[in-house]
């Protein structure tokens, strides 16, 4: 992926913020280290990424969030993690650090009541706090407070060997371990100028599509389960388990954790893998259409999903919402296509897009993507090139930087890394798609009844771990 990196003046930095505000570019990420703030943005037509850097005198830089709201939480995190202050930011509350008492936004009006939920939830899910303000049953405002699973990943990455940093990257968000490992590996490979063997690239795509398949299957079941339709959950859970067992047979780990490493793959595909994966494809292709039919023809279920939790195309586009959330609200973006990366440039890939933006639309995008992934896996198995699966990483000689954008099941994962002259990671930054999706959940729930929140939340399925770092 091409990228321009430049140290810019305050004026150019602010002009870049204005271009975001006008929608001429999409915000990819905003991050910092003591003394320097960085911003990655993308041309939505070409997928071309640009990284700007600004020297922060006295630890301050002009706020982008003041011009472009999606940047606000990233700036709050920069203050917590790198001590950088965004001048003029509309929200100066801490975000990932929880030492101080947290002032929630004030809500005023007649007949309002608040419901505080979390961080420990009723189900087996990640921790976060949701503060609902409701008028009767209708949600007037939702404010999320995140950061509970903040593990200090940026600090652990700084100074780590590439091998250790890759192990940590694989555990930023466990459900996207393949995509994260790929994003980190590709950023390192770009920095070091390493050409990954073709077979390794194809195996990465195979693992990534299995990951997408497993997650979409469990999401489809879990969303229906939140509408008390347990049958779908049971059947999708069965299919997901089959996918994980095939992954274990092919890659030696159910979630394929640690399989993608900088330079290629940890190991080649297991000898038994191909028949196992082909049997999996046959099984899912046989069962899945029945489930889709049930979903489509169960009126009591559709009654819950159609028209619930609508996210407008305008907001999805403004926040550059990735993954099924963006594509269910008319944003035709998929990093596999744009900026695109191998081997997807030579694979058949259709990107489903709908405009309704409701829970039903987010389910349908997943259904279509399950079908796409099945096709991709079959094509990869047919055309898998022979050869080695690992390239050696050269010594860098001098510090170098690399970026990558990889499409995980939930959306585009951005990685930036600076490798020092000794070959260790000096700094790394990983941006989960959830950064731009969590705020949209707050918008989508507005006006819905409190009881539909689990349905909306599950249809978004944002990552807490990926966001909290």
* Site residues (vs another protein, CB under 8 A): 98, 119-120, 122-127, 147-153, 155-156, 164, 167-168, 171-175, 177, 218, 231, 234-235, 237-238, 240-241, 244, 254-255, 257, 290-291, 294, 297-298, 463-465, 468
Sign, CA torsion 390/391/395/401: negative
CB of 90 to another protein, least distance (A): 24
Nearest of 41, 40, 88, 38 to residue 66 by alpha carbon: 88
CB of 226 to another protein, least distance (A): 14
Cβ-based nearer residue to another protein, 48 or 167: 167
Cβ-based nearer residue to another protein, 117 or 351: 117
How many residues can be counted in the chain?
Answer: 469
Cβ-based nearer residue to another protein, 111 or 300: 300
Cβ-based nearer residue to another protein, 135 or 298: 298
Residue 428: CB atoms within 10 A of its CB come to: 25
CB of 45 to another protein, least distance (A): 34
Cβ-based nearer residue to another protein, 344 or 414: 414
CB of 415 to another protein, least distance (A): 16
CB of 95 to another protein, least distance (A): 11
Residue with tokens 């399989």: 259
Continuous H helices in 310-358: 313-318, 323-327
Query: Which residues 6+ apart lie within 8 Å of 110 measured at CB?
Result: none
CB of 372 to another protein, least distance (A): 22
CA distance 368 to 377: 14
Nearest of 330, 318, 200 to residue 267 by alpha carbon: 200
Residue 195 exposed, middle or buried by CB count within 10 Å (0-12, 13-18, 19+): exposed
Cβ-based nearer residue to another protein, 128 or 330: 128
For residue 38, the SS3 value is strand
CB of 469 to another protein, least distance (A): 9
The answer to whether residues 150 and 381 touch, using CB atoms and an 8 Å cutoff, is no
Cβ-based nearer residue to another protein, 53 or 223: 223
CB of 79 to another protein, least distance (A): 15
Residue with tokens 């915000």: 27
CB of 22 to another protein, least distance (A): 36
For residue 2, the SS3 value is coil
Task: Give 95-164 as a DSSP string.
Answer: SS--SS---PPP---TTEEEEEE-SS-SSS----EEEEEEETTEEEEEEEE--TT---HHHHHTT-BHHH
Cβ-based nearer residue to another protein, 201 or 236: 236
Cβ-based nearer residue to another protein, 298 or 317: 298
- What are the two backbone dihedrals, phi and then psi, of residue 77, each rounded to the nearest 5 degrees? -65, -35
Query: Which residues 6+ apart lie within 8 Å of 152 measured at CB?
Result: 469
CB of 127 to another protein, least distance (A): 5
The answer to whether residues 331 and 460 touch, using CB atoms and an 8 Å cutoff, is no
Instruction: Count Cα atoms within 13 angstroms, Cβ side, for 469.
Output: 24
Cβ-based nearer residue to another protein, 15 or 151: 151
């Amino acid at each position: 992926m091409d990228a321009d990196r430049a140290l810019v003046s305050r004026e150019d930095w602010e002009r870049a913020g204005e271009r975001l505000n006008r929608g001429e570019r999409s915000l990819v990420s905003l991050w910092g280290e003591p003394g320097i703030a960085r911003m990655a943005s993308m041309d939505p037509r070409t997928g071309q990424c640009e990284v700007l850097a600004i020297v922060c005198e006295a630890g301050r830089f002009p706020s982008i969030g003041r011009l472009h709201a999606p940047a606000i939480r990233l700036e709050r995190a920069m203050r917590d993690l790198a001590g950088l202050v965004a001048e003029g930011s509309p929200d100066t509350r801490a975000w990932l650090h929880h030492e101080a008492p947290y002032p929630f936004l004030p809500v005023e009006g007649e007949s309002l009541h608040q419901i505080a939920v979390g961080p420990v939830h009723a189900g087996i899910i990640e921790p976060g706090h949701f503060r609902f303000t409701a008028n009767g049953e209708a949600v007037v405002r939702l404010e999320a407070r995140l950061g509970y699973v903040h593990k200090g990943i940026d600090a652990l990455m700084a100074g780590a060997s590439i091998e250790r940093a890759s192990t940590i990257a694989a555990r930023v968000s466990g459900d996207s371990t393949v995509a994260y490992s790929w994003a980190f590996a590709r950023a390192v490979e770009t920095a070091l100028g390493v050409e990954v063997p073709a077979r390794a690239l194809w195996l990465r795509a195979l693992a990534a599509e299995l990951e997408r398949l497993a997650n979409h299957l469990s999401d489809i079941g879990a969303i229906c389960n939140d509408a008390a339709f347990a049958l779908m959950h049971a059947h999708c859970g069965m299919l997901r388990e089959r996918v994980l067992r095939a992954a274990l047979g092919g890659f030696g780990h159910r979630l394929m954790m640690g399989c993608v490493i900088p330079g290629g793959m940890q190991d080649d595909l297991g000898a038994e893998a191909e028949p196992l994966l082909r049997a999996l494809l046959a099984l899912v292709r046989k069962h899945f259409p029945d489930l889709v039919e049930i979903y489509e023809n169960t009126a009591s279920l559709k009654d819950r999903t159609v028209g619930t939790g609508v996210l407008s195309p305008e907001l999805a586009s403004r926040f550059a919402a990735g993954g099924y959330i963006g594509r269910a609200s008319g944003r035709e973006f998929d990093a596999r296509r744009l900026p695109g990366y191998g081997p997807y440039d030579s694979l058949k890939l259709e990107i489903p897009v709908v405009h309704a933006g409701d829970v039903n639309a987010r389910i349908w995008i997943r259904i279509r993507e399950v079908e796409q992934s099945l096709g991709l896996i079959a094509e990869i198995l047919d055309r898998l090139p022979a050869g080695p699966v690992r390239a050696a990483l050269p010594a860098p000689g001098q510090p170098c930087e690399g970026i990558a954008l990889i499409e995980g099941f939930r959306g585009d994962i951005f990685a930036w890394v600076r490798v020092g002259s000794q070959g260790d990671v000096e700094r790394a930054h990983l941006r989960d798609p959830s950064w731009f999706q969590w705020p949209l959940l707050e918008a989508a729930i507005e006006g819905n009844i409190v009881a539909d929140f689990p349905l909306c939340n599950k249809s978004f399925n944002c990552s807490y771990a990926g966001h909290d770092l």
